[in-house]
């Protein structure tokens, strides 16, 4: 799927994953796919994260529509540690590939979400049992 730079897509994804560590049991955000809306709905129960992505034909009107009006294009359930780790790893890959300056140059409207990534990493390390490597040092 492609997200345009009109939405701060990476930041939304990282922030959404981070929201699941508090009392909040769900998070939702969307990517503007010009003209489609790609709506992400994350729900968590018992350390499992259910990810559902809905597609709507026109982002100009769809943010007000209920999920049931969209087309489900992805649904999967992951243990929360695996989900958070995957998001962190994806963010790290982007940073390694482009660097902060390169990211801003490419994405234009939004900087690389350094603080949100740090927050998610802190929550993941604090609350999740994860056996994967966390050597996600900055390039």
Q: For binding to Zn ion (CB under 5 A), which residues are involved?
A: 85, 130, 132
Beta carbon of residue 122, minimum distance to Zn ion (angstroms, whole number): 12
Residue 95 has what DSSP assignment? H
Q: φ, ψ for residue 34 (rounded to 5)?
A: 40, 90
Please state the closest distance from residue 134 (CB atom) to Zn ion, in A.
6
The residue among 39 and 85 lying less far from Zn ion, judged by its C-beta, is 85
Measured from the CB atom, the residue of 6 and 89 that comes closer to Zn ion is: 89
Pick between residue 55 and residue 119 the one whose CB is nearest to Zn ion.
119
CB closer to Zn ion out of 68 and 129:
129
- What phi and psi, each to the nearest 5 degrees, are found at residue 105? -65, -40
Q: What is the CA radius of gyration of the chain?
A: 15
DSSP assignment of 61-76, as one string? TGGGS-GGGSEEEEEE
Structure tokens at 135: 């050597």
Work out how close the CB of 133 gets to Zn ion at its nearest, in angstroms, rounded to a whole number. Answer: 8
Residue with nearest beta carbon to Zn ion: 130
Task: Give the shortest CB-129-to-Zn ion separation in angstroms.
Answer: 9
40 contacts 31 by C-beta, under 8 angstroms: yes
């Amino acid at each position: 799927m492609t997200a345009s730079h009109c939405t701060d897509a990476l930041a939304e994804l990282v922030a959404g994953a981070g929201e699941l560590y508090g009392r909040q049991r769900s998070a939702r955000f969307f990517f503007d796919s010009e003209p489609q809306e790609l709506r992400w709905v994350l729900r968590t129960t018992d350390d499992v994260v259910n990810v559902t992505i809905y597609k709507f034909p026109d982002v100009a009107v769809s943010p007000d529509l209920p999920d049931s009006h969209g087309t489900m294009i992805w649904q999967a359930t992951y243990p929360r540690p695996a989900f958070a780790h995957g998001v962190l790893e994806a963010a790290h890959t982007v940073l390694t590939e482009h660097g902060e300056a390169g990211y801003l140059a490419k994405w234009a409207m939004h900087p690389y979400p350094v603080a949100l990534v740090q927050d998610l990493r802190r929550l993941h390390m604090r609350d999740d049992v994860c056996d994967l490597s966390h050597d996600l040092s900055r390039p």
